[in-house]
Amino acid sequence: MHILYEIERLSTCGGIEHMLTDKANYMADVWGWDVTILVLLEDDAEPFYHLSRKIRIEYLHIKSSGILMCLQGLWKLNKAVNRIKPDVYVTVQTIGAMSCLLRTHKVPTIYEAHGIRTCMQHPLAMSMAEKHADIVAVLTQNNAKRYAKAKRVEIIPNFTNMDVVELPDYSQKRCVAVGRLDFEKNFSRMISIWEKVHKTHPDWVLDIYGDGPEQNALQQHIDSLGLSNNVFLKGRTDNTVEAYLSGSIYLMTSHFEGFPLVLIEAARCGLASVSLNCPDGPRDIIEDGKTGYLVPYEDDDAMVATIGKLMDDEAKRQSMGLAAKEASVRFSRQVVMNKWKDLFESRFT
């Protein structure tokens, strides 16, 4: 079996790049399949995530921008697919989505929709992928409903290859959050919520791991609220397991989430999560009241109360954390990759 992936860059530290790399490595190293990755844009840096030496990378070196970039990309993509002749072609980003309409090959084609359709840029490209890809693969039940015109929709979640034996110390008075410090993750709201939490639980601490463009603004927000001794921007970490295990509750306040791996990783580490019920991912991961809590998106006061309730109950933190760890097995690498294997080997029959 020969699988061909398309992506704009491999040197970027992002969720799409991470998942594509993990899947490609599994196919090549565990199944012994042939895997080729087409990198569309000019990208001289090494892949950010470790890539198996068995995987072939081809760079198309598209240098133009706007419409010219798209046209050049579509022409080069079609030429490459026709030359490589894979068994299945998988595209994950905008130019590849457009190629579903203008393809000159007959290779079975999957468009992977990693984001939430209503929050994604380039709606025209999404419409092209929806109508002309052989399969649209989505991460959540809710997002699947947004591709009503697709020939076929498959729901296959992301996975984590994190295997953690240890459990957190549930007596720790520490909450943890992990993510890029940008608009989507909405850490400014988390900090504002924490100001209210701090009034009733002043001995608790919030650690936020990650870097990004909002780092300075977030630090100023922390300082302005007088929380510099209780909320800490820890920066990016190479040991996320240690970061999760340093707390006893995981928090999320994102504007939107396609499928937040951090919630799965937190669960693998035995943490219950308290998350705003943003579209779409949290509700597909958290079993409300069992492995964590989903809080109405617009209700900051409910978020404050829910966090406080869990802070006050160490036994609940432990029981929910253990339930989260047990439930996270459905997002293990082997379980999810077997779904991909069944799909690829069927050739979409």
170-223 tens-digit pLDDT: 999 999 999 989 999 999 999 999 999 999 999 999 999 999 999 999 999 999
Q: What is the pLDDT of residue 76?
A: 85
The per-residue pLDDT for 332 is: 93
Mean pLDDT for the stretch of residues 105-130: 80
CA nearest 37: which of 55, 51, 17?
A: 55
SS3 state of residue 313: coil
37 — pLDDT class (breaks 50, 70, 90): very high
Q: Is the pLDDT score of 73 beyond 90?
A: no
Identify the bridge partners of residue 154 per DSSP, sorted by sequence position. 137
322 Cβ contact list (under 8 Å, min separation 6):
167, 270
Q: How confident is the model at residue 62 (pLDDT cuts 50, 70, 90)?
A: confident
Write the burial class of residue 22 (CB in 10 Å: 0-12 exposed, 13-18 middle, 19+ buried): buried
Max avg pLDDT among 2-16, 58-72, 289-303:
289-303
Q: Grade residue 328 by pLDDT with cuts at 50, 70 and 90.
A: very high
Give the pLDDT confidence score for residue 36 in this predicted structure.
Answer: 98
Q: What is the pLDDT of residue 40?
A: 87
| Average pLDDT for the chain | 92
Q: Which has more confidence, 49 or 325?
A: 325
